[in-house]
Amino acid sequence: MTKTNAELWERRLKAVPHGVGTMHPRFAATAQNAEITDIEGKRYIDFATGIAVCNTGHSDPRITEAVKDQLNHFSHTCFQVNPYESYIELAEKLNDLAPGDTPKKTIFLTTGAEAVENAIKIARAHTGRPGVIAFKGGFHGRTMMGMALTGKVAPYKIGFGPFPSEVFHAPFPIDYHGVSAEDSLAALEGIFKSDIEPNRVAAIILEPVQGEGGFYAAPTAFMKALRKICDDHGIMLIADEIQTGFARTGKLFATEHMGIEPDLMTVAKAMAGGFPISGVIGKADIMDAAAPGGLGGTYGGSVLGCVAGLKVLDIIREDNLCARANEIGALFNQRLLAMQADDDRIGNVRNLGAMIAIELVKEGDANKPNAELTSALVKHAAEKGLILLACGIRGNVIRFLPALTASNDILNEGLDILEASLKKL
Ligand code: PMP
């Protein structure tokens, strides 16, 4: 018997807690490249890619075949019990590809939050210090330390405290909201004066482009200043590249745009095209600080994720996806700026490669966020066959994360739906 979205939604409400937010009550049946079909046969253009995961498109046969082949051999032995070559090979490749010349090592985990937890553990083990500084508006996951680091209360932190201590937040530089890199650095110095002395800080962690917080890129000069502050005080600089990684921004990693080498880098999401694997890539001597047995996990570096991850790296190279991300960014920019010219509710259009966003406001005023329009747009576009994602600390940003393998025709079709939806609302 064919089920409907409404029937499954009823069952979902009864069987799954409300705390798991679901943006679209549209149950997936199949997904191919940049399109999803739901269980009622309705087709959607996907500008969400499962939250920045399927950069290489849904169900790329090169990844599917590699995983099927692995399944014919084994699906799990646990790397800590009987290791396998694909883990080593993926680590070797990422060590070579990560920004900077310092020799690297990589550990694999399962989720983004787990990668963040491990990066903090490694930074603390290496420095012997407790403190961590993160940024307001930043997002680092839903585990206890992930929440402590996250600089956005609703919905991530409500009711879940107390969180691990010795975590402090500085403002993230966002020109559009009147916070300059200098303001942000001054606030950081303020933390060193009022909250924790720099020689007790293990790490400064940030997203090179804030994701959930609203798609704001850190200015290069700011990243360089952070690098210097960390060098001056022996603090580990951690780049959380979980949303920005794997060609999304037009480089394999977003920090490459900013000309700095982080000490540690967290990766997940797009690294394996939908198979759950994450990692911490870091300078080898820092990565070796933790005692044997202190790092790992039963599923960490699942063999299925490792073989998929190797294919993702091949696809990014073979299909030239970094260059394609820049083309997609340019295509969106042109169309979105044209829409903005006719509509003062589009306050700002921004992108780094194919990490693209519009900020919706009232009367063109950056200080009047339009969260109502944002959620109405997400809903209306889905009805018309386009999957969009909102984000932003004020809930007024639409982020565009299309597959980097999507054709211009599909992208334009999606943008046509966006344009028509905005006109209707
Ligand atoms: N860090 C960043 C920058 C993220 O965007 C996310 C997920 N949105 C996470 C950490 C957490 O990843 P996960 O949901 O896989 O735990």
Which residues line the pocket of ligand 1, CB cutoff 6 A?
Answer: 51, 111-113, 116, 139-141, 207, 211-212, 240, 242-243, 268
Residue 266 has pLDDT above 80, yes or no: yes
Residue 2 has pLDDT above 80, yes or no: no
Tokens 């940049």 map to which residue? 34
Task: Supply the CATH classification number for the domain 5-56+320-424.
Answer: 3.90.1150.10
Residue intervals in the chain for CATH 3.90.1150.10: 5-56+320-424
- Average pLDDT value over all residues in the chain: 97
pLDDT, tens digit (0-9, with 9 covering 90-100), for 218-248: 999 999 999 999 999 999 999 999 999 999 9
| Ligand 1 centroid, distance to 7 Cα (angstroms) | 30
Atom of ligand 1 nearest to the CA of 114: 16
Residue intervals in the chain for CATH 3.40.640.10: 65-318
Supply the pLDDT for residue 97.
98
pLDDT, tens digit (0-9, with 9 covering 90-100), for 189-224: 999 999 999 999 999 999 999 999 999 999 999 999
| Ligand 1 centroid, distance to 386 Cα (angstroms) | 23
Mean pLDDT of 90-97: 98
Supply the pLDDT for residue 105.
98
H helices then E strands: how many in the chain?
13, 18
Q: pLDDT class for 59, splitting at 50, 70, 90?
A: very high
Q: pLDDT class for 42, splitting at 50, 70, 90?
A: very high
282 HSE (CA, 13 A, CB side): 28
Q: Whose CA is nearest to atom 13 of ligand 1?
A: 112
Supply the pLDDT for residue 228.
98
| Ligand 1 centroid, distance to 328 Cα (angstroms) | 23
Task: Supply the CATH classification number for the domain 65-318.
Answer: 3.40.640.10
pLDDT, tens digit (0-9, with 9 covering 90-100), for 106-143: 999 999 999 999 999 999 999 999 999 999 999 999 99
What is this structure's pTM? 0.98
Residue 1 has pLDDT above 90, yes or no: no
Q: How far apart are CA 32 and CA 372, in angstroms?
A: 31
| Ligand 1 centroid, distance to 240 Cα (angstroms) | 9
Q: In 10 A of CB 403, how many CB atoms?
A: 31
